[in-house]
Amino acid sequence: MKLKIYTDGACSGNPGKGGWAAIILDNSANQSRISGSEKNTTNNRMELMAPIMALKKIKEESEITIFTDSKYVKDGITEWIKKWKLNNWKNSNKKPVKNKDLWIKLDNSCQKHKVKWKWVKAHSVNKYNNLADELAVSETK
């Protein structure tokens, strides 16, 4: 199965009440929407929760393209994580990687599927990114 997933995270205050959301589209453009919130969190944690929760919903091994407006998430999962693992979860400054628990969950979730990551510009003309943003922000209220 081929799927597209648009994800976003939001935070009211940073840290503060956070929300995450994902729009999952199949080949027929059928869509499902998922979202959630946490009381005391950060924007980066919410950006990570969105793809984690979306991938959790997909039971069948699939080819998935995940669209995110977070370079932190895209670069982290496609580039930085390899070095973090080799360096015992230390970043380039020899400090512990922030949000390690979520990075591990995201990495494990990606192993079950063939996942490609694409960055999209936030608050632009992308219909589904804007919808994910609206849902994530609504969860911060």
Average pLDDT of the chain to the nearest whole number: 96
Distances from the Cα of 136 to the Cα of 21, 64, 83, 92, 117, angstroms = 5, 21, 30, 31, 20
Share of the chain above pLDDT 90, in %: 96
Which positions are annotated as active-site residues? Answer: 8-9, 47, 69, 123, 133
Domains and CATH numbers, the chain: 2-138 (3.30.420.10)
* Distance between CA atoms of residues 38 and 45, nearest Å: 10
pLDDT digits (tens, 9 = 90+) for 92-115: 999 999 999 999 999 999 999 999
pLDDT digits (tens, 9 = 90+) for 9-23: 999 999 999 999 999
* Distance between CA atoms of residues 112 and 10, nearest Å: 27
pTM score of the predicted model: 0.96
